[in-house]
Chain A
Amino acid sequence: QLQLQESGPGLVKPSETLSLTCTVSGDSVSGSSYYWGWIRQPPGQGLEWIGGIHYTGTVTYNPSLKSRVAISVDTSKNQFSLRLNSVTAADTAVYYCARSIDSWFRFHYWGQGTLVTVSS
């Protein structure tokens, strides 16, 4: 059974970098048909796609966040990661990692999500 688990600091100071890792268990991040994504949801608001990565290293990002985002994959640890720099209060959200098959944007499996608060 595939499981995804987000981990990282729950509190980040303004202007600093948010870093999260998604640990995948029950399957390999190196599946050729798999695309791994990050999605976030500000408190009480809707979903926003951040970006995604294929195990080959190919990435795609939301144009509105592209200048601040980096997603990477570590096949040896079966993990993929998100870095978002220069954060502000507007980046406060629940961050989800998820897996898509044969598409950048069709998420069959999701992590439980982790709340990241940006505050001094």
Chain B
Amino acid sequence: QSVLTQPPSASGTPGQRVTISCSGSSSNIGSNTVNWYQQLPGTAPKLLIYRNNQRPSGVPDRFSGSKSGTSASLAISGLQSEDEADYYCAAWDDSLNGVFGGGTKLTVL
């Protein structure tokens, strides 16, 4: 059971907009910033969004993040086949622990 809660799966068709939610608590998302990672099959995770809504260099602006209270969301617009991957939210917890969501498997139909 992960500290941060994500839906196990999500799907969309090419060109569509998809959102993935991440729910936490006052000790993690509620008081610290949220990061999102993309993990393509068989590869290491890649930082997609940091500090709630910042994109590292090279990440397309189709990817965006937001946070409100103890929840966060990742939005992917203009869905492409190469976006099919696992997505993880992550946040520091005030118990001095880094916590991840359980991951959401995104399928592009």
A contact set with B: CB distance below 8 Å = 37, 39, 46-49, 52, 60, 62-63, 96, 103-108, 110-113
Q: Which of these, B46, B56, B98, B102, contacts A62 with CB under 8 Å?
A: B98
Residues of B in contact (CB 8 Å), total 25
Are A105 and B98 also in contact (CB < 8 A) when A46-B2, A46-B88, A46-B103 are? yes
B contact set with A: CB distance below 8 Å = 2, 33, 35, 37, 43-47, 50-51, 56, 88, 90-92, 95-103
In the complex formed, the residue of B with least CB distance to A113 is: B44
8 cross-chain CB contacts under 8 A: A37-B98, A46-B88, A46-B102, A49-B90, A49-B99, A104-B98, A106-B33, A106-B35
Contact A62 B45 (CB under 8 A): no
Residues of B within 8 A of A46 (CB): 2, 88, 100-103
In the complex formed, the residue of B with least CB distance to A37 is: B98
The list of the 4 closest CB pairs from A to B, nearest first, reads: A49-B98, A105-B98, A110-B44, A47-B100
Q: Which of these, B56, B90, B103, contacts A105 with CB under 8 Å?
A: B90
**A29: min CB distance to chain B, Å:** 19
**A68: min CB distance to chain B, Å:** 15
Q: Which of these, B44, B45, B92, B102, contacts A104 with CB under 8 Å?
A: B92
Contact A108 B47 (CB under 8 A): yes
